[in-house]
Amino acid sequence: MKNGNLIQFDTLTVKPKVRNIAWLSAAFALLYTVMVFTGVNPRLIMFFLLAYLFAVLVMLVWAFFQQLRYNPYSYNTIYYAAFSLFDLSVIISQCYLIRMLGENTLKEEHLLINMFAFLVDSAQTFMIYSLPFVLFFSIALFYSNVMLIRKEGRRLVNYLGMILAVLMVGGEAYLIFGNMYYSGSHLAVMLWSIFINVFSAVYLYYECMIIGTIIACLFVINYEPEKNQDFIIILGCGLFEDGTVTPLLKGRANKAIEFYRKQIEETGKAAIMIPSGGQGDDEVISEAQAVKNYLLTQGIPEEHIVIEDQSRDTHENMLFSKKIIDSIKQDARVIFATTKYHIFRSGLKARQVKMKATGIGAQTKWYFWPNATVREFVGILTEHRGKQALILGSMIIIYTLGTVIVYMI
């Protein structure tokens, strides 16, 4: 176990695949249908379903850890983590049916329809199970936003956490109270059930994305790269009016300096620092130059600093820094220094420009974390919109068809 890491990133050369889950699901659906129509004992079908769900859970968890070894900065890392939890919630709900059978509160002849109904209602079930997380996370978001507004003023971006907290709690309340009081004809109830299941599926998807992002971030922010790096990119994030670094940017530079000195101490190898960031319209110098000036005051030799002062965002930070690195050394070992909450999305951007780099993170004030996490989450959602639309659309279709089938049985 190197550098105290449980898992070594970028040590797997073959991308983990989850096609086996698709094949397994197709085979399960076919066999499940055959078993139902041939009159197989419902208890046997129940245990067959549980075996399938456990197999999927094992596959997802395995894929998650394999993905960390292949590329930790990936949407797949988020999906594997989040849908493992969802699959676990479905397993729990099916185990509840077994308990009902054991307590004789459910007749065996009703087991199949209840089994299928529980599957159709699985998005709602996940929302109920995750209610404690939603409440805790929403309270943390709201309170941290209050502190952030007091410290940094009333800007729209500082209200993002509050908005998300209201939406999350409101969605849970809508599900609970909407189901509690709705009644009508068979058709009306079916249409309402379709709506509430589709609503729950959409909520489930975005909640899974939030949870998956948190889990993925927890793994990458605590990763310690090996002390054999050739370059350390320092990502910019704004300056004071006089062109000096802000506390947030200073924290990133200090993290890079800390790693730079530890590497020299342990291996004798000095990495080249690449402060990255252009000059904004309201800045007197580029962020890269400001960081270089700060590095020089901290005793970093000028020959160990190469600035990248053209970039305007994280994507360009990585793209232009890679061009500099490639012009100096091919197949270089690279890390980047940023704030902890920003590591995962920065890693995504690095991999998008074909640069294999891992991140080291600087601490920031506690009240900045939740709102910053929301901003990072929103940023992540803007990527791979086609892939996300495919997954979300598939979920909507499956829950819609499943609900119709339940009401037609």
- Tell me if 81 is assigned to some domain: yes
Whether pTM exceeds 0.85: yes
My answer on whether 26 and 156 are in the same domain is: yes
- Tell me if 297 is assigned to some domain: yes
My answer on whether 216 and 133 are in the same domain is: yes
- Tell me if 160 is assigned to some domain: yes
Question: What CATH number corresponds to the domain at position 235?
Answer: 3.40.50.620
pLDDT of 403 reads: 92
Range of the domain at 90: 2-222+384-408
pLDDT of 258 reads: 97
One digit per residue, pLDDT tens: the chain, 409 residues? 556 677 889 999 888 888 889 899 999 989 988 988 888 888 888 889 999 999 999 999 999 999 999 999 998 999 999 999 999 999 999 998 888 887 777 777 778 888 888 899 999 999 999 999 999 989 888 888 888 788 777 776 677 788 888 999 999 998 888 776 666 788 888 888 899 999 999 999 999 888 998 899 889 998 999 999 999 999 998 899 898 999 999 999 999 999 999 999 999 999 999 999 999 888 899 999 999 999 999 999 999 999 999 999 999 999 999 999 999 999 999 999 999 989 999 999 999 999 999 999 998 777 777 777 777 777 777 777 888 888 899 999 999 999 998 888 7
Which of 298, 315, 332 is the last residue in one of the domains?
332
pLDDT of 97 reads: 86
My answer on whether 241 and 170 are in the same domain is: no
pLDDT of 254 reads: 96
- Tell me if 154 is assigned to some domain: yes
My answer on whether 69 and 165 are in the same domain is: yes
Which of 313, 332, 351 is the last residue in one of the domains?
332
- Tell me if 338 is assigned to some domain: no
- 241 closest CA partner among 276, 282, 201, 274: 282
Per-residue buried b or exposed e for 118-140, using 16+ beta carbons within 10 Å of the residue's own CB: bbbbbbbbbbeebbeebeebbeb
My answer on whether 218 and 239 are in the same domain is: no
d(CA 203, CA 395): 11
My answer on whether 251 and 291 are in the same domain is: yes
- Tell me if 375 is assigned to some domain: no
My answer on whether 400 and 318 are in the same domain is: no
My answer on whether 12 and 149 are in the same domain is: yes
pLDDT of 271 reads: 97
My answer on whether 143 and 33 are in the same domain is: yes
- Tell me if 51 is assigned to some domain: yes
Angle at 139 between CA 133 and CA 145, to 5 degrees: 130
- Tell me if 342 is assigned to some domain: no
My answer on whether 205 and 291 are in the same domain is: no
My answer on whether 91 and 36 are in the same domain is: yes
Are residues 112 and 36 in contact, defined by beta-carbon separation less than 8 angstroms? Answer: yes
Question: How many domains are there within the chain?
Answer: 2
My answer on whether 42 and 6 are in the same domain is: yes
pLDDT of 181 reads: 62
